[in-house]
Amino acid sequence: HGFARNVDWTLVDSENAEGSPVVTMELKDSPYSRAMWDFSFHALFKVTLNAKSLSTELTVKNTDSKAFSFSTALHTYFRVSDWGRKFG
């Protein structure tokens, strides 16, 4: 696991696109992130809630002078009252 799940992202935009709420959040490198991963970056995370689905889009821009590689694993952490009843 990385640092992005343990920090507050900044809300940069929210809208209601054709009845679907959309929020865009950003994360930039900080002393906290650089202590674990010494690169400069700018990440945007867009979430769209549709009538029957949830869509996400993650964009990461390298703002450093050196190349980097990374990977993502987006965990949802949805609160479900009775998982077994719904999917068991």
Is residue 72 domain-resident? no
Is residue 50 domain-resident? yes
List the helix and strand counts (H, then E) for the chain: 2, 4
Cβ contact 45:27 at 8 Å: yes
State pTM to two decimals.
Answer: 0.81
- Domain tally for the chain? 1
**Tokens 């992130």 sit on residue:** 33
Please state, in angstroms and rounded to a whole number, the distance separating the CA atoms of residues 83 and 10.
31
**Tokens 């343990």 sit on residue:** 6
Beta-carbon count within 10 A of 33 CB: 20
Q: Which residue segment(s) compose the domain that 31 sits in?
A: 4-64
Is residue 75 domain-resident? no
Q: What is the mean pLDDT of residues 71-86?
A: 72
Is residue 79 domain-resident? no
Is residue 73 domain-resident? no
- Looking at every residue in the chain, the average pLDDT score rounds to 89
CATH code (residue 15): 2.20.130
Judged against a pLDDT cut of 80, whether residue 19 lies above it is answered with: yes
